[in-house]
């Protein structure tokens, strides 16, 4: 694909990164027309995005959780993976949405996103495009950098990589404490080297429950070095867990690991909550299709707390937690910058195959 723009016609050509929905290792760049902007619409140019295991989970759960529906692909059997990052308004036919302004939010792995901004104010807008109205609401909000309490110009990379993950860490930690640890004395987190898991451990350590991180043997040293787990064990060593009431926050989605925890702990395994599937195994059809008691879905706890604390109260608590976490997390990640759609394709292949070191945080700039 040629992305150079030498003529007026070529300037109207953008790109999409398409992923084969039945084999997530297959990724292809394709030219795509830049959408025309009509009344009530604005065109965003995707500027800077991050890619972590969470984005691969969006693809793995693309059908059951409808993640493929946010940014529909025109080619049958292929999907456009949602990413988090910054985009710049390049054209607007909406009052209050100014060309040149910059927003943080849910973006396609593509050059552009056409939105239909609703509820526009100094903090941002919601995309009111009809196809997004039945999809989970938090994904439809775009935060204007100049009106965003959590925005820090010199920490954009950190925001790109961690903000959506840390919302989950924050809501999971809140949910566990809100529910008195579900009766557990030990909380075990798998894929403990992941950003979402260690963000939760950071918030939970020292709050009344022992926090144990489970990780791959090769990631034990990194995970221990974070200091946010009371104890770190390799997956093979779960038999070393003490036999006392234990809750399992499952980021790995590995059925064999669940079986060995269950065999070792028996009735002492008092609760199993699924937070992620870094192993990319969605399980039997329907297992993760709905937010049942076994599945943690951050927007559910957000809705509960928004009701109790109000949106401003929730945002303030999150901003406080973020301000404590961000300076620490800065020392836990090496940000690796890529440039352009080809780099995004390479990064997708690397992250999807699980080859990325836990210290690495990929950010791609266009
Ligand atoms: N429910 C929610 O609302 C929500 C929100 C955010 C994130 N999450 C989930 O949390 C999980 C972690 O996401 P993240 O973005 O924080 O991850 P990340 O920082 O990119 O995590 C990297 C770690 O995940 C494990 N991993 C990555 N790829 C793998 C593969 N192909 N096979 C096996 N293990 C692999 C490895 O950890 P170990 O060696 O330690 O296993 C690796 O060090 C994801 O499943 C994500 O979907 C859920």
User: What CATH number corresponds to the domain at position 34?
Assistant: 3.90.180.10
Label residues 300-314 b or e (16+ Cβ within 10 Å = b): ebbeebeeeeeeeeb
Mean pLDDT of 307-322: 93
**Is the residue at 157 inside a domain?**
no
Q: Are residues 26 and 103 in the same domain?
A: yes
Give distance in angstroms: CA of 35 to centre of ligand 1: 33
Examine the domain organization and report whether 178 and 76 are in the same domain: no
How high is the pLDDT of residue 9? 44
Q: What digits encode the pLDDT tens for the residues 80-95?
A: 999 999 999 999 999 9
Classify residue 243 by its DSSP letter: S
Decide if 158 is inside a domain.
no
> Do 235 and 116 fall into the same domain?
no
Q: In the prediction, which pLDDT does 299 show? A: 82
- Do 117 and 144 lie in one domain? The reply is yes
Same domain, 138 and 251: no
Whether 111 is covered by a domain: the verdict is yes
Res 42 pLDDT > 50: yes
186 shares its domain with 296: yes
Asked whether residue 91 is domain-assigned, the answer is yes
Same domain, yes or no, for 173 and 244? Answer: yes
Q: Is residue 307 part of a domain?
A: no
Give the distance (Å) from ligand 1 centre to CA of residue 101: 32
Task: Give residue for tokens 């992923």.
Answer: 19
Report the separation in Å between the CA atom of 277 and the middle of ligand 1, taken as the mean of its atom positions.
7
Residue among 10, 106, 8 at smallest CA distance from 55:
106
Q: For residue 247, give the 3-state DSSP assignment.
A: strand
Tens of pLDDT along 178-226?
A: 999 999 999 999 999 999 999 999 999 999 999 999 999 999 999 999 9
* Ligand 1: centre distance to CA 278 (Å): 4
User: Is 75 among the domain residues?
Assistant: yes
Chain mean pLDDT for the chain: 93
Average pLDDT over every residue of 57-84: 96
- Segment 15-19 shows an average pLDDT of 98
| 154 CB-contact burial (10 Å; exposed 0-12 / middle 13-18 / buried 19+) | exposed
Regarding whether 168 and 60 lie in a shared domain, the answer is no
pTM for the full model? 0.94
**In a shared domain, residues 60 and 96:** yes
pLDDT of residue 280 exceeding 60, the answer is: yes
Q: CA dist 238 to 91, 98, 157, 216, 223, Å?
A: 55, 54, 35, 12, 16
Q: What residues flank ligand 1, with Cβ below 6 Å? A: 52-54, 57, 165, 168, 191-196, 215-216, 219, 251-252, 275-280, 296-298, 354, 358
d(CA 338, CA 353): 18
- Domain span at residue 225? 164-300
CATH of the domain at 283: 3.40.50.720
Q: Whose CA is nearest to atom 32 of ligand 1?
A: 279
Share of the chain above pLDDT 70, in %: 94
Between the CA of 285 and the centroid of ligand 1 the distance, in Å, is 21
Q: How many residues does the chain have?
A: 366
- The predicted pLDDT at position 1 comes to 47
- As for how many domains the chain has, the answer is 2
Q: What is the CA radius of gyration of the chain?
A: 21
Q: Verify that 212 and 285 share a domain, yes or no.
A: yes
């Amino acid at each position: 694909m040629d992305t150079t723009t030498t003529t007026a016609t070529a300037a109207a050509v953008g790109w999409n990164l398409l992923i084969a929905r039945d084999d997530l290792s297959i990724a292809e760049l394709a030219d795509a027309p830049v959408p025309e902007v009509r009344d009530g619409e604005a065109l965003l140019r995707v500027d800077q995005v991050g890619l972590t295991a969470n984005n691969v989970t969006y693809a793995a759960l693309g059908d059951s959780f409808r993640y493929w529906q946010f940014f529909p692909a025109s080619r049958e059997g292929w999907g456009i993976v949602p990413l988090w990052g910054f985009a710049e308004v390049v054209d607007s036919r909406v009052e209050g949405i100014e060309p040149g302004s910059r927003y943080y939010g849910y973006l396609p792995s593509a050059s552009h996103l056409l939105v239909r901004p609703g509820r526009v104010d100094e903090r941002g807008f919601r995309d009111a495009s009809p196809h997004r109205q039945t999809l989970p609401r938090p994904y439809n909000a775009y935060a204007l950098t100049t009106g965003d309490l959590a925005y820090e110009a010199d920490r954009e990379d950190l925001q790109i990589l961690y903000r959506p993950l840390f919302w989950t860490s924050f809501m999971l930690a809140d949910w566990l404490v809100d529910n008195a640890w579900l009766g557990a004395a030990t909380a075990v987190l798998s894929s403990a080297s992941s950003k979402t898991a260690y963000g939760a451990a950071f918030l939970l350590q020292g709050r009344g429950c022992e926090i144990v991180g489970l990780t791959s043997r090769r990631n034990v040293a990194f995970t221990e070095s974070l200091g946010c787990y009371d104890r770190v064990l390799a997956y093979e060593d779960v038999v070393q867990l003490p036999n006392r009431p234990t809750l399992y926050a499952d980021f790995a989605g590995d059925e064999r690991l669940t079986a060995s925890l269950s065999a070792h702990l028996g009735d002492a395994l008092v609760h199993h909550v699924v937070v992620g599937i870094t192993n990319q195994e969605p399980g039997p059809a329907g297992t993760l299709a709905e937010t049942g008691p076994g599945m943690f879905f951050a927007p559910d706890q957000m809705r509960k707390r928004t009701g109790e604390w109000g949106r401003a109260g929730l945002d303030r608590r999150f901003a406080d937690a973020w301000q404590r976490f961000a300076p620490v997390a800065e020392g836990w990640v090496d940000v690796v910058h890529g440039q352009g759609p080809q780099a995004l394709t390479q990064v997708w292949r690397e992250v999807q195959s699980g080859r990325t070191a836990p210290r690495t945080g990929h950010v791609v700039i266009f």
